[in-house]
């Protein structure tokens, strides 16, 4: 569990973890910001969750005395976690899991433990309508997009994480080549990742992880039933500030066991599901491309560059 200054949300997530009763629990809490005095009490309340572990459990804590930020804080915590464990689940304070998320991840982590092609297990799939059409009747599918709202992975995969995302600016379109997703959106995804890491590098870690997975052509398991509801949308969030977003507080559902396994191969349909929610519809990119073409046609791009 990765926490900071939202104890009310963290307590809800902790309660789901408590119900799952893991044998080992790692609790990481970032330090308070000097510029925000209320952080002292809020981070203390998050640390206090360690005292509520009332089941047989080996507890490890990582309480930072300084504030590492939204980028280094989580990524350092995950690296710490995987320095002790070969595999496991990562939950941030706003990612509320459905009960079946835990046995689903446990089975996936065991089944694909030695398959280097599989690097990430998504918990969130944005609760699509009629998932049986997308997942072809299987319990899960494989995509290229690593979604970080409640997920699981292996130390063998996380070893490829590079906070500096070395080589990202020279990355070719091939790195972001995703079956079933139009080239305009693939190019826009590359531009978004590069721009974010260039201008907001200190504020993110999941973009670097997404790049690490795509760079190695890794597969990401995606459940057919949404397993995570993101509770963190609102004014107090760093990134997810729009509480009216259609992906906020998505409904979750129970996965049925035994699981129905698909072939271990990239699914264009599951890729499109994630692209539609993470990148938006292709029409917006066609419109942007058309505008760029018009500006080029009339020499407006050159005039803008000259200015």
H-run or E-run covering 55: none
Which pLDDT belongs to residue 112? 98
Residue 228 sits in the same domain as residue 139: yes
Identify the residue with better confidence: 12 or 286: 12
Residue 260 sits in the same domain as residue 204: yes
Is 63 part of a structural domain of the chain? yes
Is 76 part of a structural domain of the chain? no
Using DSSP, state whether 181 is helix, strand or coil. Answer: coil
Confidence of residue 15 (pLDDT cuts 50, 70, 90): very high
Which pLDDT belongs to residue 248? 58
Which pLDDT belongs to residue 194? 87
Residue 146 sits in the same domain as residue 294: yes
Residue 179 sits in the same domain as residue 252: yes
Q: Give the neighbor-by-neighbor strand order of the sheet with 151-154.
A: 87-90, 151-154, 118-122, 219-223, 140-143
Is 58 part of a structural domain of the chain? yes
Is 133 part of a structural domain of the chain? yes
| Cβ–Cβ < 8 Å for 59, 50 | yes
Which pLDDT belongs to residue 290? 47
Residue 168 sits in the same domain as residue 298: yes
Which pLDDT belongs to residue 288? 55
- Closest listed residue to residue 271, CA positions, set 194, 176, 207, 191: 176
Q: How many domains does the chain have?
A: 2
Q: What is the pLDDT of residues 200-246, one digit of tens each?
A: 778 899 999 999 999 999 999 999 999 999 997 554 545 444 445 55
Is 72 part of a structural domain of the chain? no
Contacts of residue 170, defined as CB under 8 A and 6 or more positions apart, other chains included, come to none
Residue 110 sits in the same domain as residue 184: yes
- Closest listed residue to residue 141, CA positions, set 220, 216, 210: 220
Range of the domain at 135: 94-306
Q: What is the pLDDT of residues 42-97, one digit of tens each?
A: 999 999 999 999 999 999 999 999 999 999 999 999 999 999 999 999 999 999 99
Helix ranges, 56-182 (H): 69-82, 101-111, 131-135, 155-158
Residue 32 sits in the same domain as residue 109: no
Is 86 part of a structural domain of the chain? no
Residue 131 sits in the same domain as residue 202: yes
Is 284 part of a structural domain of the chain? yes
Q: What is the pLDDT of residues 165-194, one digit of tens each?
A: 998 888 887 899 999 998 888 888 888 888
Of 19, 52, 67, the one marking the end of a domain is 67
Kindly report the pTM of this predicted structure.
0.88
Is 89 part of a structural domain of the chain? no
State how far the Cα of 209 lies from the Cα of 163, in Å rounded to an integer.
8
Residue 214 sits in the same domain as residue 276: yes
Residue 61 sits in the same domain as residue 102: no
User: In this model, does residue 1 exceed pLDDT 60?
Assistant: yes
Q: What is the pLDDT of residues 96-152, one digit of tens each?
A: 999 999 999 999 999 999 999 999 999 999 999 899 999 999 999 999 999 999 999
Which pLDDT belongs to residue 172? 80
Which pLDDT belongs to residue 189? 87
Residue 128 sits in the same domain as residue 5: no
Which pLDDT belongs to residue 213? 97
Of 67, 86, 112, the one marking the end of a domain is 67
Q: What is the pLDDT of residues 242-297, one digit of tens each?
A: 445 555 558 899 999 999 999 999 999 999 999 988 886 655 555 555 455 455 66
Residue 105 sits in the same domain as residue 62: no
């Amino acid at each position: 569990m990765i926490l900071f200054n939202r104890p009310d949300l963290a307590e809800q997530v902790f309660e789901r973890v408590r119900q799952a009763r893991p044998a080992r629990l790692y609790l990481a809490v970032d330090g308070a910001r000097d510029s925000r005095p209320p952080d002292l009490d809020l981070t203390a309340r998050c640390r206090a969750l360690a005292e509520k572990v009332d089941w047989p459990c080996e507890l490890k804590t990582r309480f930072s005395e300084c504030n590492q930020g939204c980028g280094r804080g989580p990524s350092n915590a995950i690296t710490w976690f995987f320095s002790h464990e070969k595999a496991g689940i990562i939950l941030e304070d706003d990612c509320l899991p459905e009960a079946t998320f835990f046995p689903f991840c446990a089975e996936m982590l065991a089944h694909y433990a030695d398959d280097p092609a599989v690097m990430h297990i998504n918990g969130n799939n944005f609760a699509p309508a009629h998932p049986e059409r997308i997942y072809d009747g299987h319990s899960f599918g494989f995509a290229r997009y690593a979604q970080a709202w409640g997920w699981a992975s292996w130390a063998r995969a996380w070893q490829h994480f590079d906070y500096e995302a070395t080589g990202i600016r020279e990355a070719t379109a091939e790195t972001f080549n995703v079956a079933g997703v139009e080239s305009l959106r693939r190019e826009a995804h590359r531009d978004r990742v590069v721009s974010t890491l260039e201008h907001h590098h200190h504020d993110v870690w999941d973009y670097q992880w997404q790049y690490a997975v795509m760079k190695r052509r890794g597969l990401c398991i995606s459940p057919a039933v949404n397993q995570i509801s993101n509770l963190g949308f609102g004014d107090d969030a760093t990134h997810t500030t729009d509480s009216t977003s259609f992906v906020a507080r998505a409904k979750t559902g129970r996965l049925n066991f035994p699981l129905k396994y698909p072939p271990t191969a990239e699914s264009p349909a599951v890729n499109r599901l994630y692209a539609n929610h993470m990148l938006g519809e292709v029409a917006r990119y066609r419109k942007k491309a058309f505008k760029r073409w018009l500006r080029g046609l009339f020499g407006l791009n050159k005039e803008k560059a000259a200015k």
